[in-house]
Structure 1
Amino acid sequence: MNLELLLAFVAFAFVTSITPGPNNMMLLASGVNFGLRRSVPHMLGISLGFMVLVICVGLGLGQLFAQFPALYSLLRYLGAAYLLYLAWKIAGSGAPDSASSERGKPFTFLQAAAFQWINPKAWVMAIGAITTYTPQENFLVNVLLIAGLFALVNCPSVGLWTVAGTLLRNWLRNATLLRLFNIGMALLLVASLYPILADIKGVL
């Protein structure tokens, strides 16, 4: 991989990682509701789980979905259903010091890593990275390089959303304001599913 392609890929990784999507919406909400320290496993799970996803796509998983489109569609719909469930949970989150907040828990490392497999944006990013930025020569080495670089760029990028949520935490001590914030985050999470929901409506 030459320097020009490498820099183009880093820019792609940064833009796709830092722009709004299901992961970043959930991390912003997690920063507000649980703070930075308790959200770190969630952040690491996203980056390392996504790295594994990129490697698997590079090793041929993307070809499997190309041969069996129905399998990919099923995965997207399951992901959409789970995101709607998460939106419902976020909307019902309580104040940071309330009993409902104590009962709630942030995503664990494994939960966040597993979530990447049903996150529609993660699949688009992974397939784009492999098909556009991975040279065929020394393909396996380049796949590992792309996956590792993506994780390095992704972690601080998504971390900024957690930090933003943590900074908002003190401003949202009021239970009503926090409830409105969580409802807003839930609605944004649902809005991020528009392409999938539109596909489902088109099929029906």
Structure 2
Amino acid sequence: MPADLLVAFLGFAFVTSITPGPNNMMLLASGVNFGVRRTLPHMLGISLGFLVLVVAVGLGLDQLFRALPVTYQILRYLGGAYLLYLAWCIARAGAPKTEGQRGKPFSFLQAAAFQWVNPKAWIMAIGAITTYTPEQNFIGNVLLIAVLFAVVNLPSVGAWAVLGSLLRQWLEQPARRRLFNLGMALLLVASLYPLLLESAHA
């Protein structure tokens, strides 16, 4: 891959990974409710799950979606419905008083699987493959793009969990914790705006 294209891609990977989206909103909430250590499997699941998604898109899923656009739309709407369910769960989390009442953060496999129904992840993966992957030595470049994206993605999404952890002490008051979780739920719903806007213009 040419050096200028590589630099451009790394910028794309950083900006898309660090900006707010479903993954980052959930990691912020998880950092508040569970701390960074218990959120680590969630963070790793996002990065490695996204790596697999990028490889899959590069190796043929993009072609499937072009041939059968309805499959992409179905996947996106299933993802939207799942995001609404997650927002409902976060909003109802309240302010647990003891460690035993805190429930469980996302597991590695849950976070990895979530990438397949995350609309932002699909946009990022398709954008990376169609915009930044040279045709020469295509398979090798797909693998390089996927690995580099995961390397950039992990610390980027991890910053949101760390931020959440730093807010834990301030959010010890039950009322503040409830308001925070409600705010995170609303932001998660707001992340569906592009999907809703596209549906309105369809």
> Quick check: 5-14 or 194-203, which moved more?
194-203
- Residues 68-108 of structure 1: CA distance to partner in whole angstroms, max 9, x if unpaired? 11111100100000000000000011325447843x21000
1:73 aligns with 2:73: yes
Displacement of 1:37 in angstroms is: 0.5
Alignment of 1:168-183 (within 5 A): 168-183=167-182
Percent identity of paired positions between Structure 1 and Structure 2: 71
1:167 aligns with 2:162: no
Alignment of 1:1-204 (within 5 A): 1-98=1-98, 101-102=101-102, 104-202=103-201
One-letter code aligned to 1:94: G
Structure 2 stretches lacking a partner, 5+ long: none
CA distance in 2 between partners of 1:34 and 1:193 (Å): 25
CA distance in 1 between partners of 2:127 and 2:51 (Å): 13
Displacement of 1:199 in angstroms is: 3.4
CA distance in 2 between partners of 1:16 and 1:97 (Å): 35
CA distance in 2 between partners of 1:173 and 1:72 (Å): 42
**Deviation above 4 Å: which 4+ runs of structure 1?**
none
CA distance in 2 between partners of 1:183 and 1:9 (Å): 35
Structure 1 stretches lacking a partner, 5+ long: none
SS in 2 for 1:107: coil
CA distance in 2 between partners of 1:62 and 1:24 (Å): 25
One-letter code aligned to 2:123: V
Q: Structure 1's 182 and 100: CA in aligned 2 closer, same or farther, altered over 3 A? A: farther
State whether residues 10 and 150 of structure 1, in contact with CA within 8 Å, keep that contact through their aligned partners in structure 2.
yes
* TM-score after normalising by structure 2: 0.97
Displacement of 1:147 in angstroms is: 0.1
State whether residues 49 and 116 of structure 1, in contact with CA within 8 Å, keep that contact through their aligned partners in structure 2.
yes
* TM-score after normalising by structure 1: 0.96
One-letter code aligned to 2:12: F
